Amino acid sequence: MYPQIITYLLTFIKFQEQIIRTLLTLLIGKSMFDKPKDQQPVNKPYRKLQVDDLPIIEIPEKLNYRNLLTEYQEKHGKSLKPVRRHKNAKVSVPKGMKCPKCGAPSDYLYANNGDKGQYQCKVCSCLFSDKNRFSKDTILKCPHCSKTLDKIKERKDFDVFKCKNDDCPYYQKKLNGMSSKEKKQFKKDPQSFKLRYIFRQFHIDFQPLSKNSPELPVVDLSRIYASPHTLGLILTYHVNYGLSARRTAPLCRMFTV
């Protein structure tokens, strides 16, 4: 009952706000319907807990080198031969290495640029290194500029990714909204402002928590089907802001509408 009352009161407050804006427009003669643009950098308590948009998730393409070898033989009438190694080659390909895109063994891999650690697959022409993007299950990209996010921190329960593109619209919008005083402070202490897009990827396993707990919890963690992002948003309002569960519930419904 209480969440319904809170939702009704919030709706009524929004209706009153529209009436006040209309009356001010008639009295002052200036449009009051234009919402202020959010161009100022985030500089307030709990600023690091602000939830940004979800990143673009890209799944890398995976191929099978056996199928590619079969297609090559059918197309050219001959099999694709392994790479011929030079006897005096300075850099060799490790025997256990495989192409991260198609899985071709080291016999089909070139040491593409010597000691810089880049390799090329003869089967699928994939360029890669030890930290290649195809070795990841998913690729996270900035929702504002579509550039790949860089992992900047690794924590026990989550990893922190940041967009380091200086031409990102998100970064440029926050940067241009700073005052001269804030820009001077930003040069001295860049960590005091959040200008770049940041995403936290949680990797918490809820199942062991429910089994090893000495007391049975009110909420069965093994039955939580919400995404880690949604659960983190709920905990942000409930724990960090000190809101009760009754007040947190209608807030989450407002954001999901």
* 199 and 52 Cβ atoms separated by less than 8 Å: yes
Q: What is the pLDDT of residues 62-90, one digit of tens each?
A: 899 999 999 999 999 999 999 888 776 66
| Per-residue CA distances from 111 to 64, 89, 98, 106, 107 (Å) | 21, 9, 12, 10, 11
With cut-offs at 50, 70 and 90, classify the pLDDT of residue 207: low
pLDDT at 1 over 50: no
| Per-residue CA distances from 41 to 38, 142, 147, 196 (Å) | 8, 18, 21, 10
More confident residue, 29 or 147: 147
pLDDT at 118 over 50: yes
Q: What is the pLDDT of residues 7-64, one digit of tens each?
A: 767 777 887 787 777 777 776 655 555 555 555 555 555 555 566 788 988 888 889 9
**Predicted local confidence at residue 167, as pLDDT:** 93
**Predicted local confidence at residue 182, as pLDDT:** 85
The distance of Cα 182 from the centroid of its chain, to the nearest Å, equals 27
With cut-offs at 50, 70 and 90, classify the pLDDT of residue 184: confident
More confident residue, 33 or 130: 130
Output DSSP code: residue 236: I
More confident residue, 254 or 167: 167
Ordered alpha helix ranges (H), the chain: 2-28, 65-76, 169-176, 180-188, 206-212, 228-235, 245-256
**Rounded CA gap, 152 and 161, in Å?**
6
Count of CA atoms in the C-beta half-sphere (13 A) of 25: 10
